[in-house]
Each structure stands twice: as structure tokens, then as C-alpha cells.
């Protein structure tokens, strides 16, 4: 024991201590600064640069921002703000522009006079982008002159130099993400467009032009959109509810910009059964909520309950009303501007400022009460919706209890169709949700019995988007999924919150056929998880299996192909002179077409399979998409299909 200790101490000396200079720390541990080095981190670079322009706009110096994705997947962001200062900082002997671009925790956001509020308070934003770009060029128009500096991997290639005169003002940052750092290098048009649209709603009066030069439209020009909102979050909540049937004609808009904490709230009630509240602090989406959401919910419950009690509408109701009942069918956007927000870490997902709760509570309480008094018809509609929600909640609770009680009474409580695994550690266990008994049989035979469990699903599960909650627990396939997973409903945070204490699997894999029916079943399952088991998605437990589309066979040699391009390559390599008729090509449309060994080799073997982890980039956009595709309103779904038909891959 002492020999080991001595050896370790002699190996650990002053030579082992490394000091990472400048932006080297960012390149060494990029995930510490931008979250990850995959597709999310790649897009985070754009958000950091755009946020700087938005901060200029919030300070009142910018009203137009341009974002362009170039053919090489480089990105250019420009604005008509004041332009980053270029003068020399005396104590550093460098241009302020170079310091901002190359030094962590440098910027104007720490000075309250420069920016009253801003999204990035850690001062690492644009310098991180610089460090993680193989090439970056910044151009500043300021004081009648144009300045420029170029960098490679964060290192300046020359001092800031004046390159001309200009009567314009603003900053342009053009960067190419470093492919040696990022595992993904292709930007998604929809992801960038969704964030820019969100920013235009949150900052009314700002024009954001978006161009993607990688694709040309029917007019021969680069595709793109212009985002501009005059109504702000009032238009935002209408946009989010565009695929739902509204209960009140106009969104209720509440605003107070006179106090130290400017607050905006827009809300609508619809006929759906879910609550959709989206909160923002200085344009940052606070996914986990925080004090501003707590203040909103407290005021909403107190004010609506007080009005309902005084109106006598609750006299015949024998069930106690809870906060959840007031929020069923509610869509709301809460936006606050806080000078010194306290977030939980750099991820900025939960607000902690206690004074914000009071500011939101007072605004919502006063203005909602005035609205209810002045609009008795709309008030009666809202209270009637609350009563229906309470009755449905009571029925749903009884249905949930029946599911959970049945599990206790039936011994193990596991569904009869479940082929469970031997391992009991959830971190090592996988549950395959398999379409159909035939494929389920193959999966049961081909699996690794130690860690892989199989639950066959018969037919299409209930579309939960159109059903009241208590009817969901009557559906046999949904009951089987809940029981197999081991989860229950009800936590200290709320009766509807998912309790994962007894979750039995940390990988839940949806495995459906590669045809239209399989896609529909997968979407139905995803809708259920998004609406009722969102915590599983947020924790990274939900996956989609990717079975191959083709088997290419020549004699004893066979290849599996997941894409059309892979199929063409395989045919060329196996066929004589690349002729397709000299090889056997099988197009898999159903999992049942594969025998157990093939299913294991292609789709279930952890060493060789391909899985897609389900994640949520924008909760607001995901909610809109699910309600549009799976909800009652036909017109928005038809428009979506017509707009996206050219991207569909359909077997005919």
C-alpha cells in the first residue's frame, strides 16, 4: 500500500500543473462553455452572436439584424447597432475589439450603464465562438470608419486595422465552426428559424432577416424568412395556439414597464387538456421555470378562484378546485427583464430572483381581476373550463389509481406480454417498445436477455392529443407501457408530475416498421411521452431504433443499408459492373421480415445498432408541432403538409 502511495506522489509534481492561456481552456473543454460539441453546441454558437445583437436592440441602439448561413456552413451575423468599440484599452495596450473577441469575461454587460439588461452575463459568449471557430472575421462600422480583424482558432492574425470609411454603424461577425472540435457541422434551417422567430416575438419592433444560401427556392434566390412582430408576445401566444380551438377571442395581454422589473404576460385559453406556459428572462428560455412562473401561477389561481367563488359558479361543484385545474387548456408566455438575474449555472434554465415573484404576482393579480370584471362572458367561459378540468382531474386520478392498484394486486404487476430482462440495475436495462406481435416475437428471440426487455404493442395506441386524461388510462397499450416502466404519477411538485423513483429502464427504445403505419405509430407514442412523460425525454431516456431499409446480398456476402446512398455504394461494390440485377436487393418494410439473428445484428446489438436520442430543442415549437399534427384542427395540418410535401419520402 505504501509503495503505491510513494509512486503516485513522485509522479505528481509541478510539471503536472498546466495553465491554459487565453482561449485555450475553451478549446480544451468546450462542453463546459457551450453545453456540448454536437448539434446543440453547434447552434449555440449562433445564439451567442445573435444575443449580442439583441442586447444592442434591447438597449435601444439596433432595430435590424441579419443572419446568413453560407454554402460552406459558415455563419454571418450583422446588426445596425453602435458597433463594438475599437479604441485602445490603456491597461492592456490592446484594442477593445480584440479584448472582447479574445478574453473571457470581457464585455460591456458588467457595466450597468452600458446595458441595463442582457442575456449573457458571464462575458464568455463571443470569445467562445471565436475560440471554437477555425476562422472568424469581425467587421465594425463605427465613428465613420470600418475596422476589421481576423482570427484562426481564436488567435488574431493581425492587429485591428482600419480598412475604409463608412457612414453606417454596426458589427458583423462571420465564423466557421471548427470541424476538429464539433461532431456535427451542418446547421438546421428549422432550428435557426425557430429561435429567430422566437426572438422577434420577444423583442417587438426588431426586424430579423434570415437567409440560407445552401438551398435555392423556386424564384432562384436563396431561401429565407423575415421575422418581425409589432404585437410581441401577444402575437407569440396566438402563433403557439394557431392549431388549437380558442375559448376566448383575443389573447389577454398584461404589461408593466414602469417598475424596476419590466414584466409582460400574454395568455389564452383553448379546448385542449394540457398546460403550455413558456417563460423567458432577458430573452433566455427558462425551461425549468423559476420565480417568475411561480408568481404567475400563484396570482392566476388566487384571482380566478376568488372570482369563481364570488360569482357562485362553483356552488354545485362537490370537488375541491386545485391550481392544476386553472391551468388546463392555458397557453401563456411570460417575459421579464431583470438587471441582475440569478440563474442556476451557465445553462440559465431556472430563475432564482425572489423579487421577480412579487412583481409578476402583483401585475397578473391586478390586471387579471380587472379583465374578469370587464369581460363577464369570457370570465364565465374560463370558469366553466376550470370546472370541467376539475371533474376530469378527479376521474383521471381514479383511473391512475386503478392502474397502480391493479399492479399491486397482481403480484409483480408486470404486463403479461412483457419479456423482461434479468438485470435489475435501471442504468443497464433497455426496454424495446415493438410494433406488432410478429416483430415482438423476433425481438424476444434475438435480444440479449440479460439487459434487454421487449414489450410488443398491438396496433395503434390512443391519440392522447384528442383525449381527456382519464380516457388515456383505459387504453390497454398505454396501461402496459406505464406498468412496464414502473413509473407513477404524483410528486411534491404536483399530482400530474411523473414519479421516476421506481423507473426500471434508462433506455426506452421505440422500434417500429419503416413504413407509413410505422411512422404513425411512432408519432402516437412520441405524443404520449411528450404530453405525459416529458421527464423521460428531458433526462435523455427515450430513443428511436433505426432498422435498415435494405439488405444487399451477393453469394454469401451481405450488406445492410440505412440510406439510399449506402444502397448505391453497396450495389457498386458487390455487383458486377455495378449492375443491380446481379445482386439481391431486399427492401425491408416491416420488422417481421427479419429473422431474430438479423434483427439483433442490425437493430439491437449495442456494438452495431443505430439509435436516435429524442430531445427537445424548443419546447414551444415542439408543442406547436404536436398540436398541429395530432390535434383536432384540420386547416393548420393541411397547410403544413402542403408546405413540406416536397421533403416527404414515401414508398409507392
Instruction: Note whether 349 and 343 are within 8 A (CB).
Output: yes
Q: Which three cell numbers stand for residue 140?
A: 465594425
In b/e form, how buried is each residue of 257-287, taking b as 16+ CB within 10 angstroms? eeeebbbbbbbbbbebbbbbbbbbbbbbbbb
Pairing assessment for the beta strands 64-69 and 207-216 based on DSSP bridges: parallel
Helix (H, G, I), strand (E, B) or coil at 66: strand
Catalytic residue among 178, 435, 593, 621: 435
To the query of whether residue 435 is one of the catalytic residues in this protein, the response is yes
The angle at the Cα of 130, spanning 125 to 132, to the nearest 5 degrees, equals: 95
Q: Which three cell numbers stand for residue 54?
A: 439583441
In the block, residue with C-alpha cell 434591447: 58
Catalytic residue among 515, 558, 568, 633: 515
Rounded CA gap, 477 and 371, in Å?
Answer: 44
Strands (E), 488-566: 488-491, 494-499, 507-511, 542-545, 550-554, 557-561
To the query of whether residue 639 is one of the catalytic residues in this protein, the response is no
* Terminal-to-terminal C-alpha distance of the chain: 70
Instruction: Note whether 525 and 459 are within 8 A (CB).
Output: no
Rounded CA gap, 616 and 622, in Å?
Answer: 7
Instruction: Note whether 267 and 236 are within 8 A (CB).
Output: no
Catalytic residue among 401, 517, 558, 568: 517
C-alpha distances (whole Å) from 640 to each of 154, 244, 370, 627, 645 are 42, 14, 38, 12, 8
Exposed/middle/buried for 25, CB within 10 Å: 0-12, 13-18, 19+?
middle
To the query of whether residue 513 is one of the catalytic residues in this protein, the response is yes
Rounded CA gap, 427 and 422, in Å?
Answer: 13
Rounded CA gap, 542 and 431, in Å?
Answer: 10
Rounded CA gap, 351 and 121, in Å?
Answer: 14
Give the ranges where 75-229 is alpha helix by DSSP (H): 96-102, 125-131, 189-202
Backbone angles phi, psi at 332, to 5 degrees: -145, 150
Rounded CA gap, 388 and 329, in Å?
Answer: 11
Q: Which of 168, 156, 158, 175 is nearest to 83 (CA)?
A: 168
Instruction: Note whether 50 and 199 are within 8 A (CB).
Output: yes
Rounded CA gap, 242 and 240, in Å?
Answer: 6
Q: Which of 274, 275, 278 is nearest to 264 (CA)?
A: 278
Active site residues: 435, 513, 515, 517
Amino acid at each position: 500500500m505504501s509503495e503505491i502511495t510513494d509512486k503516485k506522489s513522485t509522479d505528481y509534481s509541478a510539471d503536472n500543473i498546466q495553465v491554459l492561456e487565453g482561449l485555450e481552456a475553451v478549446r480544451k473543454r468546450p462542453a463546459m462553455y457551450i453545453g456540448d460539441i454536437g448539434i446543440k453546441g453547434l447552434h449555440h454558437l449562433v445564439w451567442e452572436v445573435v444575443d449580442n445583437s439583441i442586447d444592442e436592440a434591447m438597449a435601444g441602439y439596433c432595430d435590424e439584424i441579419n443572419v446568413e448561413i453560407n454554402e460552406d456552413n459558415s455563419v454571418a451575423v450583422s446588426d445596425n447597432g453602435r458597433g463594438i468599440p475599437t479604441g485602445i484599452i490603456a491597461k492592456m495596450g490592446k484594442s477593445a475589439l480584440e479584448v472582447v473577441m479574445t478574453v473571457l469575461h470581457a464585455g460591456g454587460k458588467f457595466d450597468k450603464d452600458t446595458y441595463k439588461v442582457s442575456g449573457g452575463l458571464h462575458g464568455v459568449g463571443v470569445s467562445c465562438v471565436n475560440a471554437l471557430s477555425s476562422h472568424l472575421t469581425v467587421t465594425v462600422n463605427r465613428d465613420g470608419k470600418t475596422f476589421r480583424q481576423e482570427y484562426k482558432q481564436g488567435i488574431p492574425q493581425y492587429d485591428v486595422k482600419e480598412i475604409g470609411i463608412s457612414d453606417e454603424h454596426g458589427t458583423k461577425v462571420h465564423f466557421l465552426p471548427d470541424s476538429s472540435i464539433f461532431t456535427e457541422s451542418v446547421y438546421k434551417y428549422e432550428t435557426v428559424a425557430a429561435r429567430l422567430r422566437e426572438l422577434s416575438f420577444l423583442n417587438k419592433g426588431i426586424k430579423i432577416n434570415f437567409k440560407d444560401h445552401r438551398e435555392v427556392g423556386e424564384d432562384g434566390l436563396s431561401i429565407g424568412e423575415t421575422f418581425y412582430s409589432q404585437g410581441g408576445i401577444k402575437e407569440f401566444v396566438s402563433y403557439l395556439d394557431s392549431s388549437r380551438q380558442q375559448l376566448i377571442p383575443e389573447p389577454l395581454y398584461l404589461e408593466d414597464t414602469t417598475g424596476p422589473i419590466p414584466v409582460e404576460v400574454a395568455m389564452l385559453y383553448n379546448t385542449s387538456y394540457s398546460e403550455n406556459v413558456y417563460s423567458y428572462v432577458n430573452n433566455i428560455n427558462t425551461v425549468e421555470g423559476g420565480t417568475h412562473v411561480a408568481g404567475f401561477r400563484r396570482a392566476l389561481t388566487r384571482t380566478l378562484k376568488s372570482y369563481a367563488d364570488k360569482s357562485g359558479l362553483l356552488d354545485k361543484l362537490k370537488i375541491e378546485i386545485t391550481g392544476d385545474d386553472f391551468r388546463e387548456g392555458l397557453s401563456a408566455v411570460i417575459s421579464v427583464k431583470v438587471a441582475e438575474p440569478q440563474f442556476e449555472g451557465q445553462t440559465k434554465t431556472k430563475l432564482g430572483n425572489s423579487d421577480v415573484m412579487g412583481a409578476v404576482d402583483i401585475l397578473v393579480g391586478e390586471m387579471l381581476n380587472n379583465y374578469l370584471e370587464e369581460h363577464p362572458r369570457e370570465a364565465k367561459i374560463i370558469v366553466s373550463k376550470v370546472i370541467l378540468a376539475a371533474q376530469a382531474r378527479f376521474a383521471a386520478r381514479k383511473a391512475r389509481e386503478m392502474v397502480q392498484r391493479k399492479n399491486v394486486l397482481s403480484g409483480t404487476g408486470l404486463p403479461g406480454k412483457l419479456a423482461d430482462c434479468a438485470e435489475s440495475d435501471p442504468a443497464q436495462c433497455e426496454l424495446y417498445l415493438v410494433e406488432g406481435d410478429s416483430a415482438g416475437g423476433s425481438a424476444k428471440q434475438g435480444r440479449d436477455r440479460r439487459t434487454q426487455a421487449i414489450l410488443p404493442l398491438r396496433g395503434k395506441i390512443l391519440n392522447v392529443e384528442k383525449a381527456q386524461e382519464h380516457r388515456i388510462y383505459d387504453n390497454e397499450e398505454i396501461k402496459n407501457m406505464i406498468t412496464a416502466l414502473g413509473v407513477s404519477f404524483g410528486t411534491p411538485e404536483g399530482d400530474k408530475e411523473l414519479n421516476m423513483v421506481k423507473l426500471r429502464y434508462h433506455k426506452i427504445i421505440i422500434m417500429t416498421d419503416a413504413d407509413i403505419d410505422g411512422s404513425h405509430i411512432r408519432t402516437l407514442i412520441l405524443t404520449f411521452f411528450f404530453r405525459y412523460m416529458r421527464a423521460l425525454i428531458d433526462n435523455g431516456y427515450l430513443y428511436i431504433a433505426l432498422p435498415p431499409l435494405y439488405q444487399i446480398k451477393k453469394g454469401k456476402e451481405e450488406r445492410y443499408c440505412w440510406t439510399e446512398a449506402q444502397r448505391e455504394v453497396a450495389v457498386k461494390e458487390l455487383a458486377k459492373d455495378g449492375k443491380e440485377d446481379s445482386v439481391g436487393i431486399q427492401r425491408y418494410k416491416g420488422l417481421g421480415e427479419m429473422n431474430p439473428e438479423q434483427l439483433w445484428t442490425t437493430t439491437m446489438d449495442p456494438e452495431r445498432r443505430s439509435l436516435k436520442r429524442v430531445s427537445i430543442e424548443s419546447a414551444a415549437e415542439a408543442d406547436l408541432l404536436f398540436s398541429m399534427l395530432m390535434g383536432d384542427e384540420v386547416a393548420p395540418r393541411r397547410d403544413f403538409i402542403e408546405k413540406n410535401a416536397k421533403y416527404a419520402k414515401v414508398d409507392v
